[in-house]
Amino acid sequence: MLEARALTKRYPGVTALSEVDFSVGPGEVVALIGENGAGKSTLIKLFGGLVQPDGGEILWNGKPIQITSVGVATQLGIGVIHQELSNLTNLDVAGNVFLGREPRKFGFLVDRKLMIQHTEEYLRPLGLDLSPVTPLSELSIARQQMVEIAKALSLEAKILIMDEPTSSLTSGETAHLLKLIDDLRSRGVGIVYVSHRLDEVKAIADRAIAFRDGKNAGALSKEELTTENMVRLMVGRDIQRQSSRGFVATESRLVVNGLRTKRFPNREISFTVGKGEIVGIAGLVGAGRSEVAQAIFGVDERVGGTVELDGVALPSGSPKAAIERGLYLAPEDRRKEGLITAMTIRENVTLPGMARYSTIGLIRSKKESEISVSMRERLRIKAPSIESQVSGLSGGNQQKVVLAKWLSLNPKVLVFDEPTRGIDIGARAEIYDLMRSLAAEGVAILMISSDMEEVLGLSDRVVVMHEGSLSGVLPRDAATEEAIMHLAVGSA
Amino acid sequence: MRPLKKRSCTWRWGVLKKFGKELGVFVLLVVLCTVVDVLNHRFLGIQNLQNMGRLVGMYGIFGIGAAMVIITSGIDLTVGSMLALLGILLSIAMMEKHWPSPLAALAILVGGGALGAIHGFLITKVKLQPFIVTLCGLLLYRGLSQFVAKDETKGFGDSTALGWLYTASSGDILGVPVPFLILIVVAIVFGVVLHYSVFGRYLYAVGRNEEAARYSGIDTKKVIAGAYVIAGFLTALAAILIAVDTGSISPSSHGNSYELYGIAAAVLGGCSLKGGEGSIIGVLLGTALLQVLQNLVTLLGIPSSLNFAVLGAVILIGVTIDQLVHQRSGSKR
């Protein structure tokens, strides 16, 4: 019914999808599996009309079509339940289901009665014991998701695409959702089920299609759906591994003990990073890795646990204290958290170390310029001058400015959250070199990455997280893509 | 030869980009002054200039305070009510409690700063929105003024007997109104603070991207609260000068809507309500422009009832042109 043929989507610097094929028919549940960044989300966006393909075609009932907008997708009967729910929590259930197409009286008044009546009709077959006038804010995430599904059905969706629908559900809620999916299947709805949870895929899918690096990596029939097979398809990539540095840390620099974060307040995580060691944190999106980084750096309060740097505890919730002690974070969202893009390179580089470039509170602009110029040369930041605005730089150069901020302060511990996301290959290699040379100088490096190649290529040890907990620590030689993947999906 | 030319061109562009808004206001100011003077020669007369200078001085002082807050992407609506409350308290302290004038003035300055600190606390620690906190302040201080003054107009009796306070507010030095001189000093001090100090850099950083500032280890709450303390202090300074200069403070109308003059001056001078933009020189030019506009209404025989309409129209035209220029220069690059 819905089919993709040789579909290609390119973004500046990366090919997100390269000639992939995919199909789903009525009354069928097709699982789409793959690692972070394999291209699953891109395919969903293409089907949902959010982005346009650069090559290949999408077929609907065998005929090529252009899904030029979300409206077109809806009209065709493609419903997408996004991972991040797009509900309006200030409206009630009926208001959400009929958002933007409210039945009207006299052309401008909302016909609440009709709206509520219709909403009930959509909720009933879902087995949802729910009043249409309940404010959405009072519902659990699971129920909000059901409302999204009801909305899609009210739009007469023939194909329902679900992106990680169970990522924030409890096991009971998950069971309910899976039952509902089963129900929808028997009613002839085609379902694309995107999930990292291979157990669910095994339980519900009729077949699975795996993506890897934006390409088709294989397909599995119902009988072939085993964790082994799925992991094999998702990984199994040729990774050029650098020969091991054979580095074993002798001295712990960063000790994280019993750390609990706001997102997973009941899960504890403990690990260490040695002097001169690079520790990678692998895991799937949503495993709580960034939250760990933020709690260590102090931009988030810790719910519990301790963080020690060279044997001295760091206070919770104070990035200032962390910076004074030499622990820095290069955050995932560079433009929002790492940089003030409306400021110049100079102003960004010196921002955290202002005290060093000032006397009695007044900025010594000469010193400020000197350090900025030297950092720009050291990191080879490509910009006309240190007075260039950061907003005009490429992703790689922006990341270098973030690093310049911290390198100018002589780091002891550097935490990287997705150090090379959205960065071209050339700048990527430079950043890797830099990380290695920093480690060689004794800096402890903690690197969160969803890029397997990066994790395997750089880490001396790999910490794997699964849903807020540490699911394993792998020394370099044991860290293979499959071993990491097994720990990341929680199947080991 | 070619790269050199290109370089000087980008340099000029850089300056134009940096001071474009200020330059625009300056040109507008000069044009307006010329036109008004041609139409009415009294405009550039000594008396009129002194008058305007005094007003620019007083308005500019709290205008700078307003700008500091706006740069952090906040707003301070309390100015007008604070002018009334602090003016009345000054009168009571001096005329009824017979405090010595330096002590009374100092108390008012400290009081203004303290009110600003309370605003800052409510905004950063209790996490209320600046608009709401200062809107409540606007109502609260106005009501308190009326209560404290028992709805009577307060004054300073024979104001010439106030000595230095009178000189500071209504006096001249070498023909220059003293409030204008005070503004120059305030502008230099806060110009240095804003453009050359670490605190000033933090103010811009917080206004542009509070999150990233926090990730750089800046105590963003302290910085924002600091801006409100400065605003409160400068408002108190202006309150003393305006109270003494007017000589009579009617609790219900004194300083009414002056906060809007401060905000308008800051915005005309290049501040963005989104925060992170603006300069002291811009505020000075903005304040001067507002005064010239008010003056123009009187001098050109425009009905004074149109006073506010003229202000509104000019500010609207100003920000519209600025926005259009901005969009065009943005699309070019």
Does residue B4 form part of some domain?
A: no
Q: How far apart are CA A436 and CA A458, in angstroms?
A: 8
Residue A25 banded pLDDT, cuts 50, 70, 90: very high
Q: How many CB pairs under 8 A join A and B?
A: 70
The model's pLDDT over A201-242, given as tens digits with 9 standing for 90+, comes to: 999 999 999 998 889 989 999 999 988 888 888 876 555 555
| The token pair that represents A215 in the structure block | 């390409």
Q: How far apart are CA B217 and CA B296, in angstroms?
A: 49
- The complex's ipTM? 0.85
**Residue spans per domain, chain A:** 2-234, 252-488
Q: How far apart are CA B183 and CA B82, in angstroms?
A: 19
> Which class for B125: exposed (0-12), middle (13-18), buried (19 or more C-beta within 10 A)?
exposed
Nearest to A337 by CA among A363, A300, A380: A300
Q: Does B190 touch chain A (CB under 8 A)?
A: no
Nearest to B141 by CA among B229, B62, B282, B256: B256
CATH of the domain at B274: 1.10.3470
What pLDDT is attached to residue B316? 87
What pLDDT is attached to residue B256? 92
The model's pLDDT over B93-147, given as tens digits with 9 standing for 90+, comes to: 999 999 999 999 999 999 999 999 999 999 999 999 999 999 999 999 999 999 9
Is there a contact between B211 and A362 if contact means CB atoms under 8 Å apart? no
For A107, phi then psi, to 5°, come to 80, -15
Q: How far apart are CA B21 and CA B283, in angstroms?
A: 11
Does residue B289 form part of some domain?
A: yes
Q: Which residue in B197, B219, B276 is closest to A342 by CB distance?
A: B276
User: Higher-confidence residue: A439 or B10?
Assistant: A439
Q: Which residue in A329, A342, A347 is closest to B215 by CB distance?
A: A329
Q: Which amino acid is at B231?
A: A
User: Higher-confidence residue: B158 or B217?
Assistant: B217
Q: Where are the alpha helices (DSSP H) in chain B?
A: 2-39, 46-71, 79-91, 101-124, 130-148, 164-170, 178-196, 198-208, 210-215, 220-246, 258-268, 280-299, 307-332
Region for residue A52 given its phi and psi (left: phi exceeds 0; alpha: psi -120 to 50; beta: otherwise): beta
Per-residue pLDDT, averaged over A237-252, amounts to 65
Among B215, B218, B332, pick the best mutation site for testing chain A contact (most A Cβ within 10 A). Answer: B215
Topology classification of domain A252-488: Rossmann fold (3.40.50)
Q: Does A323 touch chain B (CB under 8 A)?
A: yes
Chain B hits for A344, CB-CB cut-off 8 Å, are none
The model's pLDDT over A157-183, given as tens digits with 9 standing for 90+, comes to: 899 999 888 776 777 778 888 888 998
What pLDDT is attached to residue B333? 35
Task: State the average pLDDT for chain A.
Answer: 88
- Strands A207-212 and A190-194, bridge-based pairing: unpaired
A21, A6 Cβ separation under 8 angstroms? yes
For residue A409, pLDDT over 60 is answered with yes
Q: How far apart are CA B227 and CA B214, in angstroms?
A: 17
Is there a contact between A387 and B14 if contact means CB atoms under 8 Å apart? yes
Residue B8 banded pLDDT, cuts 50, 70, 90: very low
Lowest mean pLDDT among A44-53, B83-92, B196-205: A44-53
- With a CB cutoff of 8 Å and minimum separation 6, the contacts of A57 are A4, A5, A6, A7, A64
What pLDDT is attached to residue A131? 86
Is there a contact between B209 and A361 if contact means CB atoms under 8 Å apart? no
What pLDDT is attached to residue B12? 52
Does residue B238 form part of some domain?
A: yes
The model's pLDDT over B165-195, given as tens digits with 9 standing for 90+, comes to: 988 988 899 999 999 999 999 999 999 999 9
Q: Does B221 touch chain A (CB under 8 A)?
A: no
Per-residue pLDDT, averaged over A345-356, amounts to 93
Chain A hits for B199, CB-CB cut-off 8 Å, are 361
What pLDDT is attached to residue A425? 72
Please count the structural domains in chain B.
1
Q: Does B204 touch chain A (CB under 8 A)?
A: yes
Q: How far apart are CA A307 and CA A315, in angstroms?
A: 8
Per-residue pLDDT, averaged over A460-477, amounts to 91
- Report the residue count for chain B: 333
Q: How far apart are CA B189 and CA B194, in angstroms?
A: 9
| The token pair that represents A14 in the structure block | 């990366």
Distance spanning both ends of chain A, measured CA to CA:
37
B186, B237 Cβ separation under 8 angstroms? yes
For residue B10, pLDDT over 60 is answered with no
DSSP at B329: H
User: Higher-confidence residue: B83 or A50?
Assistant: B83
What pLDDT is attached to residue A244? 56
User: Higher-confidence residue: B275 or A250?
Assistant: B275
Residue B233 banded pLDDT, cuts 50, 70, 90: very high
Q: Does A414 touch chain B (CB under 8 A)?
A: no
Range of the domain at B159: 52-314
Distance spanning both ends of chain B, measured CA to CA:
23
Cβ count within 10 A of residue B151: 11
User: Higher-confidence residue: A41 or B52?
Assistant: B52
| The token pair that represents A48 in the structure block | 């949902």
Is there a contact between A351 and B216 if contact means CB atoms under 8 Å apart? yes
The model's pLDDT over B322-333, given as tens digits with 9 standing for 90+, comes to: 778 777 665 433
Residue B1 banded pLDDT, cuts 50, 70, 90: very low
Is there a contact between A324 and B217 if contact means CB atoms under 8 Å apart? yes
Does residue B252 form part of some domain?
A: yes
Chain B hits for A336, CB-CB cut-off 8 Å, are 209, 211-212
Q: Does A457 touch chain B (CB under 8 A)?
A: no
Name the residue with tokens 């400068």: B234
Lowest mean pLDDT among A5-19, B10-24, B178-192, B301-315: B10-24
In CATH, what number does A2-234 get? 3.40.50.300
User: Could you give the percent of chain A with pLDDT greater than 70?
Assistant: 97
What pLDDT is attached to residue A280? 95
Strands (E) located in A73-189: 78-81, 104-105, 109-110, 159-163
Chain A hits for B205, CB-CB cut-off 8 Å, are 340, 343, 347, 351
- Report the residue count for chain A: 492
